[in-house]
Amino acid sequence: MIGTGILKGMAVTARNFVGSYFEKERLITVQYPEERNPLPENYRNFPFLPYDGDDPHAGLRCVACKICEKECPPQCIYIVKSEDKKPDYMGKPQFYPKVFDIDISVCMSCQICVEVCPFEAIKMDKDFELSRRERFDALLLRKSDLAKSNEYYHSICPTDAAEVDAKLATAAEAAAKKKAVAAAAATPATSASG
Ligand code: SF4
Ligand code: SF4
């Protein structure tokens, strides 16, 4: 019968309206911005650059390999590699991005940059309150805007962040073991030559 769908829809609305006086979970209206619904863990918006520890420069995981810049479909990442190096989370000297910009007016939130990064150095953020009055530069996020702590990553994506921490800890442990084996192998040769 024509109009059945409309009647069914109105019945659902009426049931929820009356039910909302008795069951709190039927009250689905949120008084934004004072109230906010929690975002699902797999919600994503634009990328950010996680850093370990307290220092956004020292702890930045990005080594400026530029893979994400090359793979980004709309080409909205711009990186300039440093001339000097700084230690990474395993103490290995690595280049870092002197400049790392993302134009979020162009970014399409595809997450390809995250998928291709071999260093767990770029992740998707959930910050959606990004409207700006200016039309141009305001949506070009600089390294200082993009760098966010690992604690922040844990607060928005606890499951993924814990997996990444475990992966990095395993890699650091393996690297330390390898270094220890190499040092042990080098010791007899040194003493023999001495
Ligand atoms: S999410 Fe996609 S479009 Fe945005 S910076 Fe990453 S690769 Fe580029
Ligand atoms: S974010 Fe990852 S892929 Fe992009 S430059 Fe840094 S280390 Fe390379």
Statement to judge: residues 32 and 60 lie in one domain: no
* Torsion sign over Cα 59, 148, 55, 69: positive
- Contact between 89 and 78 under an 8 Å Cβ cutoff? The reply is no
- Name the residue at shortest CA distance from atom 2 of ligand 2: 117
C-alpha span between 158 and 84 (Å, rounded): 33
Q: How far is the CA of 164 from the centre of ligand 1 (A)?
A: 20
Statement to judge: residues 31 and 3 lie in one domain: yes
- pLDDT the model gives residue 188: 65
Ligand 2 pocket, Cβ-based, cut-off 6 angstroms: 62-68, 79, 117, 119, 121-122
Indicate whether 58 belongs to any domain: yes
Statement to judge: residues 32 and 89 lie in one domain: no
Q: For the purposes of burial, counting CB atoms within 10 Å of the CB of 88, is it exposed (0-12), middle (13-18) or buried (19 or more)?
A: buried
Q: How far is the CA of 44 from the centre of ligand 2 (A)?
A: 18
Indicate whether 190 belongs to any domain: no
Q: Which of 52, 79, 112, 115 has most ligand 2 atoms within 8 Å of CB, for mutation? A: 79
Q: How far is the CA of 120 from the centre of ligand 1 (A)?
A: 15
Q: How far is the CA of 118 from the centre of ligand 1 (A)?
A: 15
Statement to judge: residues 145 and 72 lie in one domain: yes
- Contact between 122 and 24 under an 8 Å Cβ cutoff? The reply is no
- Domain range for residue 4? 1-37
Q: How far is the CA of 110 from the centre of ligand 1 (A)?
A: 5
Indicate whether 174 belongs to any domain: no
For the chain, what is the domain count? 2
Q: Which of 69, 72, 78, 79 has most ligand 1 atoms within 8 Å of CB, for mutation? A: 72
Indicate whether 180 belongs to any domain: no
Indicate whether 194 belongs to any domain: no
- Contact between 127 and 45 under an 8 Å Cβ cutoff? The reply is yes
- Contact between 144 and 56 under an 8 Å Cβ cutoff? The reply is yes
| Residue 113 neighbours by CB under 8 Å, 6+ apart | 47, 68, 71, 72, 77, 122
Kindly report the CATH number assigned to the domain that includes residue 131.
3.30.70.3270
Statement to judge: residues 13 and 73 lie in one domain: no
- pLDDT the model gives residue 187: 78
- Contact between 107 and 141 under an 8 Å Cβ cutoff? The reply is no
Kindly give the confidence (pLDDT) of every residue in the chain, 194 residues in length, as a single tens digit, with 9 standing for 90 and above: 788 999 999 999 999 999 989 988 888 788 999 998 889 999 999 999 999 999 999 999 999 999 999 999 999 999 999 999 999 878 889 999 999 999 999 999 999 999 999 999 999 999 999 988 887 789 999 999 999 999 999 999 999 999 999 999 999 899 889 888 988 888 765 544 44
C-alpha span between 150 and 155 (Å, rounded): 9
- Which residue, 97, 50, 49, 46, is CA-closest to 76? 46
Query: Which atom of ligand 2 is found nearest the CA of 122?
Result: 1
Statement to judge: residues 131 and 101 lie in one domain: yes
Statement to judge: residues 52 and 8 lie in one domain: no
- pLDDT the model gives residue 37: 87
pTM for this one? 0.83
Q: How far is the CA of 112 from the centre of ligand 1 (A)?
A: 6
- pLDDT the model gives residue 165: 96
